[in-house]
Structure formats: C-alpha cells, structure tokens
C-alpha cells in the first residue's frame, strides 16, 4: 500500500513538471512594467481650417504612443507632386500652418505616425483648395457718387503732393485741416500769427475746386501755453480771443466755407462745460461770444459746434443740444452740428446713429459727420487685418453712410474721413497699438472700407 502511494505521488510531481515546461515553451512571454504595445496606425480626424489665398492650417488627432508625425502636402492625390518643404515633414505637435502656396489651387494632405522608429501607413489624403485672389475693390470716386453733399478728408499741408495729391483730387471735394487750423498753430506766440500752413491748404483747395471746413478756432487741447498762462486781466484775455477769431475768420472770408468755432466744450458723462481757460477767463457764455464774433467777421460763413461720442453719450449730447436750442431761441448764430464719428466696427448700432442724427436734423440744422474713422482692432486682438474683420469694418462704413445719405437733403453738409492711409491715422498713437481704420492701406491701395461707403451711397 505504501509503495502505491509513493508511485502516485511521483506521477503527480512529474505531471506538474511537464505542464510547467509546456507553458514556458508556449511562445508567450510575461509583460513587464516598462514595455507597452501600441497600434501602428496613421492619425485620424484630419481637419483643414483658416484657408486663405496662400495658406491653410491642418490639424489631426493624437495617436497613442506616437513619437512624431510626418506630414506630406502635394498637388495630386497620389502625393507624387510634393510641395517643399512639406514632404515627410517631421512634426512633434498636432498641427501646422502650411504657407507660401498658390491661390486657386487644390492640395492634398496625408500624415503618418512614427512609433518606436516604425512608420505607419499614410492617412487618406485630405483635400483643400486655396481661395482665389480677390477682385480689386472698385475705384469709383466717392465725390462722384455723393451728389447731395460734400465728401471730405482731413489733411496736412505736407499731404498735398505725390500720391496723396492724386487720391485727394480724385476722391474728395472738401478738406479739413487735421491740426493746422487750430490756435496753437495759427497763433503760436502773443502778437504773432502764422497762417503759412493754412494758406497752403486753402490755396490747394481753391486750385482744385474744393471746399475748406475750418477746424477748429477754440479747442482746449490746442491752446498755446501763452494763452493758458495769459498774464493780463480777464477783460484783456477776452479782447485777445476776439481779435484772434476775427483776424483768422476775416482773413479767409469767402474762402473757408465753414468753421468749427468751439470744439469739445462739454465733459464726458456729466454734460458740464469743460473747465478750460476760456471758461475760467471769459465766463459760461464764452461759446456764445465766440460764435457772435465769427459771424461778425464773416456774415456768410457756416458755424458749427463739433464734439465726439455724440451717439453713445446721451448726457453729453443732451447738454450740447440744449445749448444749441438756447442759441436758436436767442438768435445766437449757429448753422450746424458735427458728430466726430470716431467709432469701431463693433458699434454703435445703425439704429442708434440714425436716432441721434434725427435729433439734429429735426431742428433744421446742418449735420456734419465730421471725423469718421472706424477701428478694426479696438480690442488689440489681431496682428493683421483679416478678411473677416475687413468685411465687418466695411459693413459699418456702409451703415454710417446709409444713415447720412438718408437724412433730409436740407440737413446734408459733408461726410469727412479723418485721414487717408491706415498708417497715418492719429488712432495708432492715441491707443498705442496697430489698427487699420481708414479707406486706404499704407501702399495707397483701396480697401473694403472704401467699398462700404460706395455701397452706402447707392
């Protein structure tokens, strides 16, 4: 009995050994913690975006375990006509910008993943066609379409030659001096006037059958130091201002069509009179005095009040309109109101512009959209003028023009663009970042914004 048990134990032990040996020779090795197995597959989810005339962006989904990807761009589906440098271009990320392409051309993009030095097959090609080169913007002259009011531009005396001259003569029939018809330029020191730059602008306008809108006789931000620190009595100060206005206005009688006599007299938000040297030395009726002196110097000149934020600052506009109503009631000379219109593509809305314009035209006054520019980059969130932003800017220029073109003819005066080229705009220094607010780019090319005005005039 004991022998049988021993034989059976030996059999079981031998059987266990055979099973162990067979399992070790089965070809399956245990996975250690430092080794992972990944599927060698090409990326999926290939997406094409930001397509332009010469570029696009391609992105793809991550492949588990991929060390990098190889991207190929070609002009044919078989990828034989590859585009340098996008032939097996190594990329560690999940997207690239493909640039320097031809417009109106179809391209194919295929990508492989690389795992442990092994390349996957290529993905199915993704197809994309670059955009066509845009048609040039129409170069129809603004003044030829704006038949019921003047088309104006802000100028400097140095902008009356070369390409500036060519654009001015083709586009516009009204000029406003950007800053050279202000007190600090025309009356730089006590007893000494300097009208040299004004003469240049007025002479140019007359030679080219253009109006001149004078801007601006009194403005707190263009007051010479000697006026701010005037040493005489208040009575002598007032006499000096009267002499300045009458000397200037009479010099250009019959040659300057209109004047912004006082510019930006009210504080933002409150509608209080701005605390200027003119208010302090001449009293709260200083604006009325300046308007009366202007009319005395030139009985036929048109007299305007001009200010900014007139569409969006209801309190400020209300104060200015109340002053105008008082002037009308008391026969203080005033003919028109200037809305500066320094706005952005985001607003104000067309309906708001129209309703505030109606407040002026309902009073029988002339309305001047006097300093129109439209920022395309108010939030400083783009580094170049995109197609989308240019279209939005164009749409806002069209809205502004449609509003102005629809006011009663007896209230139409002029629509004045505040500058010619984007790179020359005062807004770049004022806001401290790049923008493209005007109708022409740096190379004097017509922009979509210009087309927006043309469409608004149709």
For the annotated catalytic residues, the residue numbers are: 264, 371
Spatial contact of 59 and 94, defined as CB atoms under 8 Å apart? yes
Spatial contact of 150 and 413, defined as CB atoms under 8 Å apart? yes
Beta-bridged to residue 126, according to DSSP, are 109
**DSSP string covering 393-444:** HHHHHHHHHHHHHHS-GGGEEEEEES-SBGGG-HHHHHHSS----SSB-TTS
> What is the β-pairing status of strands 366-375 and 412-417?
parallel
- Please state whether the peptide bond connecting residue 154 to the residue before it is cis, i.e. omega within 30 degrees of 0: no
Which helix (DSSP H) or strand (DSSP E) does residue 320 occupy? Answer: helix 314-329
CA angle, residues 286, 287, 291, in degrees to nearest 5: 120
What sign does the CA torsion over 243, 248, 251, 255 have? negative
Count the neighbouring beta carbons within 10 Å of the beta carbon of residue 388: 9
The radius of gyration of the chain from alpha carbons, rounded to an integer in Å, stands at 37
Which helix (DSSP H) or strand (DSSP E) does residue 8 occupy? Answer: helix 2-24
Q: In whole angstroms, give the CA distance from residue 150 to residue 143.
A: 7
In angstroms, the first-to-last Cα distance of the chain is: 120
Which residue, chain included where needed, has tokens 């931000």? 221
Which residue, chain included where needed, has tokens 């506009």? 317
Phi-psi region of 100 (alpha: psi -120 to 50; beta: other; left: phi over 0): left
Beta-bridged to residue 266, according to DSSP, are 273
Spatial contact of 245 and 217, defined as CB atoms under 8 Å apart? yes
Which helix (DSSP H) or strand (DSSP E) does residue 262 occupy? Answer: strand 258-263
Spatial contact of 300 and 246, defined as CB atoms under 8 Å apart? no
Q: In whole angstroms, give the CA distance from residue 204 to residue 432.
A: 32
Residues with Cβ < 8 Å from 341, sequence gap 6 or more?
Answer: 311, 369, 370, 371, 372, 373, 400
Q: In whole angstroms, give the CA distance from residue 266 to residue 275.
A: 9
Residues with Cβ < 8 Å from 376, sequence gap 6 or more?
Answer: 344, 345, 382, 385, 389, 390, 392, 393, 435, 436, 437
């Amino acid at each position: 009995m004991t022998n049988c048990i021993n034989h059976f134990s030996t059999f079981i032990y031998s059987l266990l050994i055979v099973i162990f040996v067979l399992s070790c020779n089965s070809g399956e090795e245990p996975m250690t913690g430092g080794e992972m197995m990944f599927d060698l597959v090409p990326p999926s989810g290939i997406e094409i975006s930001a397509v332009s005339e010469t570029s696009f962006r391609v992105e793809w989904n991550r492949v588990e375990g991929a060390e990098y990807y190889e991207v190929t761009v070609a002009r044919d589906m078989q990828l034989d006509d590859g585009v340098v440098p996008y032939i097996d271009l190594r990329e560690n990320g999940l997207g690239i910008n493909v640039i320097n392409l031809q417009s109106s051309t179809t391209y194919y993009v295929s990508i492989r993943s690389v795992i442990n030095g092994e390349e996957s097959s290529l993905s199915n090609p993704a197809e994309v066609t670059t955009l066509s080169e845009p048609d040039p913007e129409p170069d129809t002259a603004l003044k030829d379409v704006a038949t019921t009011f003047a088309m104006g531009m802000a100028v400097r005396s140095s902008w009356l030659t070369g390409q500036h001259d060519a654009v001015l003569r083709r586009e516009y029939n009204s000029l406003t001096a950007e800053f050279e018809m202000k007190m600090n330029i025309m009356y730089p020191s006590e007893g000494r006037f300097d009208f040299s730059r004004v003469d240049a602008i007025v002479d140019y306008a007359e030679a080219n059958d253009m109006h001149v809108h004078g801007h601006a006789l009194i403005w707190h931000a263009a007051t010479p130091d000697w006026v701010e620190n005037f040493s005489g009595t208040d009575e002598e100060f007032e006499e000096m201002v009267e002499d300045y206005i009458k000397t200037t206005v009479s010099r250009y009688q019959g040659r300057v069509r209109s004047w912004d006599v006082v510019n930006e007299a009210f504080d933002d938000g409150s509608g209080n009179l701005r605390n200027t040297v003119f208010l302090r030395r001449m009293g709260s009726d200083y604006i009325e005095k300046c308007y009366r002196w202007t009319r005395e110097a030139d009985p036929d000149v048109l007299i305007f009040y001009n200010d900014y934020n007139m569409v969006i600052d209801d309190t400020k506009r209300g104060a200015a309109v109340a002053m105008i109503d008082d002037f009308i009631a008391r026969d203080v000379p005033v003919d028109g109101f200037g809305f500066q219109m320094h706005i952005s593509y985001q607003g104000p809305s067309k309906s708001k512009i129209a309703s505030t314009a109606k407040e002026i035209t309902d009073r029988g006054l002339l309305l001047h959209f006097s300093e129109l520019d439209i920022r395309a980059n108010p939030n400083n969130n783009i580094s170049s003028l995109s197609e989308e932003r240019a279209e939005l800017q164009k749409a806002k220029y069209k809205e502004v023009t449609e509003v102005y073109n629809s006011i009663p003819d007896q209230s139409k005066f002029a629509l004045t663009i505040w500058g010619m080229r984007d790179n020359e705009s005062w807004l770049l220094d004022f806001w401290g970042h790049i923008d493209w607010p005007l109708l022409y780019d740096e190379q004097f090319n017509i922009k979509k914004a210009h087309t927006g005005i043309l469409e608004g005039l149709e």
